Amino acid sequence: MYGTGNPDGGTMRRFSSVPFSQVSVTGAFWSERLETVLTRTIPSQHRQLEKFNMLRSLKLPKPVPPLTIPQQTTGFSTEIFWDSDIGKWVEAAAYALSHRRDAVIEAQIESIVDDLEKAQAPDGYLNCWYLEREPENRWTNLRDNHELYNAGHLLEGAVAYFRATGRDRMLRVLDRYVDHIAAVFGRAPGLKLGYCGHPEIELALVKAYHATGAHKYLDLAAYFVDERGAQPHYFDQEALARHEPPGKFHQGTHEYSQSHRPVREQTKVVGHAVRAFYLYSAMADLAAEQGDAALRHTCEVLWQDVTRTRMYVTGGFGPSARNEGFTQDYDLPNATAYAETCASVAMVFWAARMLNLDLDGQYADLLELALYNNALAGLSRDGETYFYDNKLESDGTHRRWDWHPCPCCTMNVARLVASVGSYVFGQAADEVAVHLYGGASTRLEVAGVPVGIEERSNYPWDGDITVTVTPERAVDFTLSLRIPSWCRGARLAVNGAETSILPERGYARLRRRWQAGDRVTLHLPMPVERSYAHPDVRADTGRVALRRGPLVYCAEGQDQTHPLHRLRLPREAAPSARFRADLLGGVMVIETPALAILTDGFSTTLYRSDPPKEEGTTLTAVPYYIWCNRGPNPMQGWLRE
Ligand code: FUB
Ligand code: ZN
């Protein structure tokens, strides 16, 4: 029934990502994270899905059990999108199977597929919440109730499982569901002009198209993207049909779901952050598949907007808990930062797609930033606890969860790490790009010749990188190595001969006849750098962040000699980096001379006219992604200068 091709019908010249199933992750940093996710995160998540009744929700028992997740004041329970969490777990687990087959995981997925098969209605409809609790209300509230979002995640799980094992039973179930959806939504007479309040299904449909070659998936994705924001507004019509005033809903604005205007007319990144980046990912996909320059241009405009005004230094997005999303330009509070893990995972998806449209280092830079910092912080060292929101400052009360009433981030970070190899290499007809470093190898066909590419390094701890090229026979192609924008003074040599680097938009592009065993060495200096925010970011005025290479650092209270809030970093202090094998499994820490403000003379006095005394001390900073792995404690990402 299904092919495995990767149809490239679009006319827009582009790269494609080399899938992680063709990439061996060999470097210490990512091997450790990957192993943790495969051996601990994915099995423990299955236990949690069981413990919190989520797997049971697929079994549609009668009488209908009470809710596990109580309704919020709005009447909404996050249980309504449990199908999506299960779909995401299947996807992550399928990625684990692509690394190594595992009978237990396969049996767990098969059992989920059994339940989905049984639950599916004769007409193909498959949403366990509605089938069980309110069958009469299908497709009546696309704005809030995640029906198509759930379908999208199940579809992504089915595609991943099919790709990992060749088993297509789940994909067949989802294929029937997609046929049902296509018979309900669209522009033909009698169909509903709807789309989902939470974009997701769009990018899932493009994945299904890639896996099967069936154009119906792409057509439906294009319909959902193109119809979004059209007038009269579907969500308003739908509300009227439910006898509800259209403007009266929990968020009160269609910006929340990026449906406030047609997507091609959008110029500001607004609303819920995860929804935004899933939508833009699908838009970038469609731009590539359909050669749609307008859609691509919109993606570029939105990219500029978010990177210039609405992004945390850690590659986190969406400052506000109220809408889990964006507010105003430069509004980037630290202690209340939402910066949901899912949003950074979604940013990685979007950035990867932009990079395939256009080999421009700005996309890889942000992909790397979001991946190594905000997204990775979402998963603990032991792989079994999580951050949902990623603060940049804590008084010691922010803590990791072992599960969440809305566990979206848990499976999102798992599927990201399990597939991290997909973000390393990009390929065009006669060009191979290395986007990320850290130790990885692949074998692919370039200009008609099988070529092995091996990248070795101890990245992100140091920037000495060796890339070895092994074509089966000599072949001309371009090897493009990313020169990150954070790096100054990069040096490059081919077979020992130093070559000047003239990066084209962030890549050193080496065009030559490659022979087996050719070696490129790249040196990316990684001094500790200070980072200052735009002066209109009120939360960061007078503050400085520390970075080294791709990693952003933070100070945790337990590493300091004085309470963290009493430390400041003089501008002239010279920080240095030191590898600490004894700390957190081995990390590069930053140590810097600092000043501690003393309480001397304040014992019973709250205010006085003499300024407090200060004394010299050392401030220690650890990579942001690893904070809060020794219990909750105070933390600052932006240090007082
Ligand atoms: O609504 C589904 C998911 O749950 C969103 O993507 C997250 O932000 C969380 O609200
Ligand atoms: Zn999330």
> What pLDDT, in 10s, does the model give residues 542-587?
999 999 999 999 999 999 999 999 999 999 999 999 999 999 999 9
Q: Is 83 in the pocket of ligand 1 (CB under 6 A)?
A: no
pLDDT number for residue 4? 32
Q: Within its chain, how far is the Cα of 292 from the centroid?
A: 24
CA 370 to ligand 1 centroid distance, Å? 18
pLDDT above 90 covers a percentage of the chain that reads 95
Q: Both tokens of residue 347?
A: 């940013």
Peptide bond into 460 cis (omega under 30): yes
User: Is any ligand 1 atom within 6 A of the Cβ of residue 81?
Assistant: yes
Average pLDDT, the chain: 96
374 contacts 316 by C-beta, under 8 angstroms = yes
Q: CB burial class (10 A; 0-12, 13-18, 19+) of residue 395? A: middle
Note whether 185 and 147 are within 8 A (CB): no
Number of the ligand 1 atom closest to the C-alpha atom of 81: 2
Task: Indicate if ligand 1 lies below 6 Å from the C-beta of 274.
Answer: yes
Ligand number with the minimum distance to the CA of 145 = 1
CA nearest to 392, candidates 335, 343, 340: 335
Measured from the CA of 340, which atom of ligand 1 is nearest?
8
Q: What is the pLDDT of residue 13?
A: 52
Nearest CA to ligand 1 atom 4: 408
Looking at residue 75, its pLDDT comes to 82
The predicted structure's pLDDT at residue 8: 42
- Looking at per-residue confidence, does 276 or 14 come out higher? 276
CA 347 / ligand 1 centre spacing (Å): 14
Please determine, for residue 9, whether its predicted confidence score (pLDDT) is greater than 80: no
Tokens of 102: 């595992």
Question: What confidence tens digit (pLDDT) does each residue in 524-543 have?
Answer: 999 999 999 999 999 999 99
Residues 596-615: tens digit of each pLDDT: 999 999 989 999 999 999 99
> Which amino acid type is present at position 388?
Y
- Measured from the CA of 409, which atom of ligand 1 is nearest? 7
The contacts of residue 448 (CB under 8 Å, 6+ apart) are 475
Q: How far is the CA of 343 from the centre of ligand 2 (A)?
A: 7
**Ligand 1 atom closest to the CA of 273, numbered from 1:** 8
Summarize the confidence of residues 438-443 as an average pLDDT.
98
Does 622 have pLDDT greater than 70? yes
Question: Could you tell me if the CB of 317 is within 6 A of ligand 1?
Answer: no
Residue with tokens 């929804």: 275
Write the DSSP assignment of 283-307 as a string of letters. HHHHHHHHT-HHHHHHHHHHHHHHH
Residue 482 near ligand 1, beta carbon < 6 Å: no
Q: Of all helices (H) and strands (E), which one includes residue 494?
A: strand 491-494
Distance of CA 239 to the CA centre of its chain: 32
Q: Which atom of ligand 1 is nearest to the CA of 149?
A: 2
Helix (H, G, I), strand (E, B) or coil at 235: helix
Which residues 6+ apart lie within 8 Å of 265 measured at CB? Answer: 229
Is 556's C-beta closer than 6 angstroms to any atom of ligand 1? no
pLDDT of 61 reads 84
CA nearest to 478, candidates 518, 519, 517, 427: 427
Provide mean pLDDT across the span 402-426: 97
Tell me, using a 6 A CB cutoff, whether residue 343 lines ligand 1. Answer: no
Non-local CB neighbours of 72 within 8 Å, separated by 6+ positions: none
Q: Which residues are catalytic?
A: 324, 408
**What one-character DSSP code corresponds to residue 624?**
G
* pLDDT of the residue at 12: 63
Q: Give distance in angstroms: CA of 399 to centre of ligand 2.
A: 16
* Mean local confidence (pLDDT), 136-160: 98
* Mean pLDDT computed over 52-71: 92
The pair of structure tokens assigned to 287 is: 């731009």
Mean per-residue pLDDT, 309-329: 98
DSSP state string for 7-26 = -----S---EEPPGGGEEE-
Q: Which helix (H) or strand (E) holds 178?
A: helix 169-184
Cα of 153 vs centre of ligand 1, distance in Å, is 12
pLDDT for 74 beyond 90: no
Residue 69, ligand 1, Cβ within 6 A = no
Residue 72, pLDDT > 90, answer no
